[in-house]
Structure 1
């Protein structure tokens, strides 16, 4: 049996194929009665337009792409700990795409030049996406931004640390969030607070580190060099750096890790060293991933609104509010709120 085509739907509804295309592509300015007639005809014929046909009907591809860091994503999957950040990005973006009849594609980007230039140029040429969501470190990568601008492809940067004027962004205040968490630990009575920095290629890592140091400075608390350790956002780096911190003669009574995966590594390190959390050392993270709620003890952390950020970025791209490089409009800048989540992994320090 021959497949149903747009011509069959148009004939049954008594309209032009252009009208059917506009209805199927959810374009505005179609009278409700006309829209209902086309949808009824499509339903009766069991018609579903394929992506290629929809793309040919207009200038849109009905594809939103998300660029994610290949190295960190692959590391998370190989460690069998999953990639919660990516899962939340997918959730927020997919729900918006589903409602609007769009498709979401996740693309792993290797940010080591010159490979990033080749990969991004090839992806844009092959996919011709209607928009791209840039997650760190793509959101601050000059080569990626240059290629998108050159192609005239609209994009939204999630969580970038570069200032305004280099493209639309949806973000949270990593500096303020890290400062608030550090102040929370100090209010519990901690004076020796260790910090594990995230992957250095990510702008958020430096912002969170700066927020920690700013809070310590506000309180006139010392920050020994040995209390600040370099991690890379992985569980293993949290485990290794926490062991180093907890083996110091003047070990911190609290450790603040730049993400939840590293904080979970801190919990594991404390357990291996026979230290009780939070009785002998407090641990705090950053993200509020599902694992933060399932750990023992449950993890005190910063809730990063990743789902909401991805959803907003997708809506902005689909709505057409975000234009390509040729647009002279003021770049969109959306700041979403964070929240401190107090759980059982933090408490006052042990008595001297």
Structure 2
């Protein structure tokens, strides 16, 4: 073998050899109806010639149970409980089986996706940042496994997705703070790998510009959607120089961290500092004072994503591949925002 690793044929190789799409080849492998005898014969001939061996995906298909892969990247996120509860509820209602995999347990996110595919999932739900990763989409395409992008700010036209308008949500929160009378508004960014983080910052900056309000570099702090990053960002924004009268954090975990730092500095929230978040996760209503935030219906979105993935798994993607669901956002005013102190 001269030290070279033998290439294992994929469903994509079979499709190319047979002159059909990967989806059609997958239909033949999974013994779906509505494939002509001639096409089925060509695909089976390609399988024989290439020595293709279907993985657990094909075996799972014959059980009649829609096996759905579900991934998550941040086990400490306050979003996670709502995400999982929505997914569990829909899986139970639709007779689907969820295989759940944390990406931090693997050397790369792609490795986590690969494990689910090899375990036999017939469709997969991709949360950020996987829903924005072209390498992940290329791999799933090669394996004939359809996907649903969850909470992406850049949905692909040819891939199913469930999302919100992060840009408009950020505009809603920024307008709320401006309408209260705030001029010196700081922003804490989310994880730069997430398209949602970029769109939320874009919405914030656009709304500030429309109000002729400047955003000094010192009023923008780095974050990565975690509570710890929010602590570091808040210390930076509140620790020296001119302080903002309001801070808009790109998610509730970071906003809760801002509140903790403000209390530690002896600042009253909201009379001396207003704080806004995004998502309306459980932490928003468990911190004191409760956070003003943008409600993103995570549980409902997760249920919708699992329902779409189940349809993709059972029908091989014909009805759901290009479906996009834009969930509604709501501004939830609570006690963490008020007019700036005179």
- TM-score, normalised to structure 1, is 0.76
Alignment check: 8 A CA contact 2:71 2:102 kept: yes
Alignment check: 8 A CA contact 1:240 1:269 kept: no
Residue 306 of structure 2 corresponds to residue 350 of structure 1:
no
Q: How many angstroms apart in 2 are the aligned matches of 1:97 and 1:259?
A: 27
Aligned length: 286
Instruction: Name the SS of the counterpart of 1:104 in structure 2.
Output: strand
Instruction: Name the SS of the counterpart of 1:133 in structure 2.
Output: strand
Instruction: Name the SS of the counterpart of 2:213 in structure 1.
Output: coil
Alignment check: 8 A CA contact 2:208 2:214 kept: yes
Q: Deviations over 1:98-133 (max 9, x none)?
A: 122222121112599x834444323312x2212211
Q: How many angstroms apart in 2 are the aligned matches of 1:57 and 1:65?
A: 14
Q: Residue 87 of structure 1 corresponds to which residue in structure 2?
A: 81
Residue 237 of structure 2 corresponds to residue 233 of structure 1:
no
What does residue range 220-259 of structure 1 map to in structure 2 within 5 Å? 220-259=212-251
Q: Deviations over 1:228-263 (max 9, x none)?
A: 000111112111211211124321100000111100
Question: Against the structure 1 CA distance between its residues 192 and 122, is the aligned structure 2 distance closer, same or farther, given a 3 Å change threshold?
Answer: same
Q: How many angstroms apart in 2 are the aligned matches of 1:156 and 1:273?
A: 44
Question: Against the structure 1 CA distance between its residues 57 and 201, is the aligned structure 2 distance closer, same or farther, given a 3 Å change threshold?
Answer: closer
What does residue range 1-352 of structure 1 map to in structure 2 within 5 Å? 58=62, 60-69=64-73, 72-73=74-75, 76=76, 83-110=77-104, 115-125=108-118, 127-320=119-312, 331-351=322-342
Superposition deviation, residue 303 in structure 1: 0.5
Instruction: Name the SS of the counterpart of 1:331 in structure 2.
Output: coil
Alignment check: 8 A CA contact 1:61 1:128 kept: no
Superposition deviation, residue 148 in structure 1: 1.2
Structure 1, gaps ≥5 residues long: 1-51, 77-82
Q: How many angstroms apart in 2 are the aligned matches of 1:340 and 1:138?
A: 27
Question: Against the structure 1 CA distance between its residues 316 and 175, is the aligned structure 2 distance closer, same or farther, given a 3 Å change threshold?
Answer: same
Question: Against the structure 1 CA distance between its residues 137 and 166, is the aligned structure 2 distance closer, same or farther, given a 3 Å change threshold?
Answer: farther
Q: How many angstroms apart in 2 are the aligned matches of 1:197 and 1:287?
A: 14
Superposition deviation, residue 329 in structure 1: 7.6
Q: How many angstroms apart in 2 are the aligned matches of 1:349 and 1:63?
A: 52
Alignment check: 8 A CA contact 1:111 1:138 kept: no
Question: Against the structure 1 CA distance between its residues 185 and 56, is the aligned structure 2 distance closer, same or farther, given a 3 Å change threshold?
Answer: closer
Instruction: Name the SS of the counterpart of 2:307 in structure 1.
Output: helix
